[in-house]
Chain A
Amino acid sequence: MAHIVRPYGDTLDDGKVQLSFTLPVPHGLKAQEAARIMVLGWGFSDCEIVHSARISDNFTFFVAYAKTERGVDYDAVEADRNEEEKSMSMDEVNEFIRTHIGRKVVVVGACTGFDAHTVGIDAIMNMKGYNHHYGLERYSMMEAHNLGAQVPNERLLEYAVKVKADAILVSQVVTQKDTHIHNLTNFIELLEAEGLRSKFICIVGGPRISNKLAVQLGYDAGFGRGTYADNVATFVVKKLAERMEL
């Protein structure tokens, strides 16, 4: 039997949703009515424009509450990644490496191409980590190299070969006009051209990266918003152990 769920405001199945948006029209009663009709046009019922404000001569901001009848069959939903595989803690990862791998795991990370944002790769790699999750540099059984931002794909690969990396972490924050897709594809092509793809576990991370996208592009995994070092570390060491058994 289908398990249909709907948004929950204050009563089961009331379908209440909050929305805010801007329309390129002058502020006024007509704008409010236009906004309301538009929301209804999206399939909502009972739309109420609770706030509108003039942003400039020809732009108006709205806050709306609306009700939807539509739901989703929760049982039929498949997540991007299997949540059952709980991540190990830093200590558990170190212990796992000691028992299953028996040497330090080498990880090289960089934010590549023209992307200048180190915030993602730093959150995963820097000693300090992010939000009380220590970064890979802190892992005693890992040797982590953070190359920073704006690293050309060629240099990243060269470096990974030099330090005999087990895993390469590529961070991509800027996704405007799909630059990240071109850049990420280019990196995999580079690895394949050099016959090195199977040498490394390749991971891509960034706020708009999904595991699905990463796998499509030829990476072993992708990590999006809300990822911490322990999530990445767990994946890397398990994958590495798996490969070593083969």
Chain B
Amino acid sequence: MKEKLGLSKDKIAEARERAIAICAPVLDFIHEHTSVTVERATLRLLGADGANADGVPVPNLVVDSLRQNLSEGAALRYANALVVKGMTPQELNSAIASGLDISKIPLGDKAFARVKAEQLAQAHLDRIRNNRGQREKKLAEFAGRNNSPLLYLIVATGNIFEDVKQAQAAVLNGADVIAVIRTTAQSLLDYVPYGATTEGFGGTYATQENFRIMRQALDEAGEREKRYIYLTNYASGLCMPEIAAMGALERLDMMLNDSMYGILFRDINMYRTFVDQKFSRMINAYAGIIINTGEDNYLTTSDAYEKAYTVLASQFLNERFAYAAGLQAWQMGLGHAFEMDPSIPNGFLYEFAQAQMAREIFPEHPLKYMPPTKHMSGDIFKGIVMDNMFNFVSKATGQGIHLLGMLTEAIHTPFMMDRYLAVDTARYVMNNIASFGDDIEFKKDGIMVRHAHEVLDKTLEFLREVEKTGLMDAIAQGLFAEVKRPKDGGKGLEGLLAKSPDYFNPVESLLEEELGIL
């Protein structure tokens, strides 16, 4: 698409340089640290799985028992147990679930255990690479069959088997992406539940088995419709890297995965979040997963017109953290949203300008565009008009991933017919204006051009301030999303550890090598 806004290339380049400078000290900190969930994700990618009779997952049992020596990494002790006991991972997992404490197993030949761990890590990465190949094969087979932008729908019944029915119906209606919303409590659990689940609040537990069930259902529906269906979940909260690992193993295609969302909107400790997001993103990068970042949340808490620059600033930071974890531009579904107060005169022009601005600044990124939620009122008739103003902007500015708005937003989790109407009306609008974006130019110095320039200028000013303050201090002072998060406050800090000099993590090493980072 031809550029329309005449944004300064120098300013955009400066914003990226500022983002590099802002993230650098944080990346240094990340490099020196690990966390309980990074270790559990590593164990999962060596084969640790299952749960004990009380539902405590095996990776948690292992990490809890190794707590004293965890700064060396959990991989060596797990591999040591396999070698000393002469067990397969499956056998060891059942033994651990039945009460075996592997911290009590004497450390045998370290070199031998390391080789064992590396072999297991390689085998799991091979499985992930294979999943990636399978996705690429299907995308090639069904090339040209998906909607553009990809139409993204959510299911959230709490029961994975009910989710399957709704998801398959959504695919038949025309959805390209299915996200299974998580149960509302899950982001704050420091473990990932095990097995298929049929109860949740406002969503369905993310478990590896639930991933597998939905993957299979979407593959079937996709085969029938001759369209690849992207499965999405949430690598966020206190178990970011574990969810990423499980998603990679079960061929998920997208993950909600933001570098700062947990800190700002879930009050998770910032050190912990920064460490966790990096490892989760390395796994996503290797698995060919597209991340979706959470900038839309800035606009639901603050004013969407006044705070537009915080979205762009966060996009630059998310991009930088993503590159540092080995993700490529095509994997960065940077988030933004159509959330302006509908009573603002010319609100549509500002929304259009901002969406176009994001497109021009991040030309290779599959931008993830979120529908109106904050100002959806319960007036479903007006709501469907607002959703279609959003659909118009999304198509006309070439967004990549389009989360369909629901006319019943703010009333209930979507009914079957709500999704149907969302897809049906979006397809009408998007077909009707298919080439609109290519066919128009913006008035020089018009409202839209001026607005985009102003947002970019404010963003630059803001990034300069954050650079001067330091990212962590900026968060602590409430510069983002108008919320203050003290550095040592929030949930999960107790699960953070400095790596010891002999820290061993074969998954991390292999990923760094494969992704060409460090």
Contact = CB atoms under 8 A, between A and B. Distances in A.
Contact of B172 (A56, A126, A128): A56
Contact of B158 (A118, A131, A149, A176): A176
A61 B407 CA distance: 15
B267 interface: yes
B302 A128 contact: yes
A185 interface: no
Contacts of A21: 417
A21 B417 CA distance: 7
Nearest to A57: B172
Interface in A173-190: 174, 176-177, 179
Interface string B372-383: 011100100000
For chain A, give the interface size range.
Answer: 20 to 34
Interface string B410-428: 1101011100110010000
Interface string A100-144: 000000000000001110110010001010011000000000000
Interface string B147-186: 0000000000010000000001100110000000000110
B201 interface: yes
Contacts of A114: 184-185, 188, 201
Interface in B31-64: none
A7 interface: no
A150 B267 contact: yes
B468 to A, nearest CB: 25
Contacts of B185: 114
Given A56-B168, A119-B300, A128-B302, A150 B266 contact: yes
B483 A148 contact: yes
B136 interface: no
Contacts of A61: 416-417, 420-421
Contacts of A150: 188, 266-267
A59 B418 CA distance: 13
Contact of B416 (A22, A126, A128): A22
Interface string B343-366: 100000000000000000000000
B27 to A, nearest CB: 28
B347 to A, nearest CB: 14
B341 interface: yes
Interface in B202-256: 202
Contacts of B343: 131-132
Contact of B420 (A53, A116, A131, A132): A53
A207 B420 contact: no
Interface string A151-187: 0000000000000000000000010110100000000
Question: Which of A22, A56, A122, A207 has the most chain B CB atoms inside 10 A of its CB?
Answer: A56
A174 B184 contact: yes
Contacts of B378: 207, 225
Contacts of A131: 341, 343, 375
A20 interface: yes
A34 interface: no
B343 to A, nearest CB: 8
For chain B, give the interface size range.
Answer: 35 or more
A233 B267 CA distance: 27
B303 interface: yes
A179 B265 CA distance: 21
Question: Which of B158, B172, B343 has the most chain A CB atoms inside 10 A of its CB?
Answer: B172
A57 B224 CA distance: 12
Interface in A212-228: 225
B184 A55 contact: no
Contacts of A116: 184, 187, 265-266
A122 B173 CA distance: 35
B201 A176 contact: yes
Given A22-B416, A61-B417, A176-B202, A119 B374 contact: yes
B301 interface: yes
B426 to A, nearest CB: 15
A150 B378 CA distance: 24
Interface in A188-223: 207
A122 B424 CA distance: 33
A223 to B, nearest CB: 15
Interface string B329-345: 00000000000010100
A114 B201 CA distance: 9
Contacts of A174: 184, 201-202
A242 to B, nearest CB: 32
B273 to A, nearest CB: 15
A116 B297 CA distance: 12
Contact of B415 (A22, A118, A148): A22
B267 A148 contact: yes
Nearest to B203: A176
Given A57-B172, A115-B184, A122 B301 contact: yes
A179 B410 contact: no
Given A61-B417, A61-B420, A116-B266, A56 B173 contact: yes
B341 A56 contact: no
Contact of A207 (B410, B413, B417): B410
Question: Which of A57, A114, A119 has the most chain B CB atoms inside 10 A of its CB?
Answer: A114
Given A128-B303, A174-B201, A59 B416 contact: yes
Contacts of A119: 300, 373-374
Contact of B201 (A22, A57, A179, A225): A179
Nearest to A128: B303
B202 A55 contact: no
Contacts of B265: 116, 118, 149
Contacts of B373: 119
Contacts of B168: 56
A189 B191 CA distance: 30
A150 to B, nearest CB: 6
A128 B374 CA distance: 13
Contacts of B188: 114, 150
A20 B187 contact: no
A174 B182 CA distance: 13
B173 A55 contact: yes
Interface string B286-326: 00000000000000111100000000000000000000000
Question: Which 7 pairs between the two chains have the least Cβ-Cβ distance?
Answer: A56-B169, A114-B185, A56-B172, A22-B417, A55-B420, A61-B417, A174-B202
Interface of A: 20-22, 53, 55-57, 59, 61, 114-116, 118-119, 122, 126, 128, 131-132, 148-150, 174, 176-177, 179, 207, 225
7 contacts: A20-B417, A53-B420, A55-B416, A55-B417, A114-B184, A128-B302, A174-B202
Given A114-B201, A150-B188, 15 more contacts: A55-B169, A55-B416, A57-B172, A59-B416, A61-B417, A114-B188, A118-B300, A118-B301, A119-B373, A126-B301, A128-B302, A131-B375, A148-B267, A148-B483, A176-B201
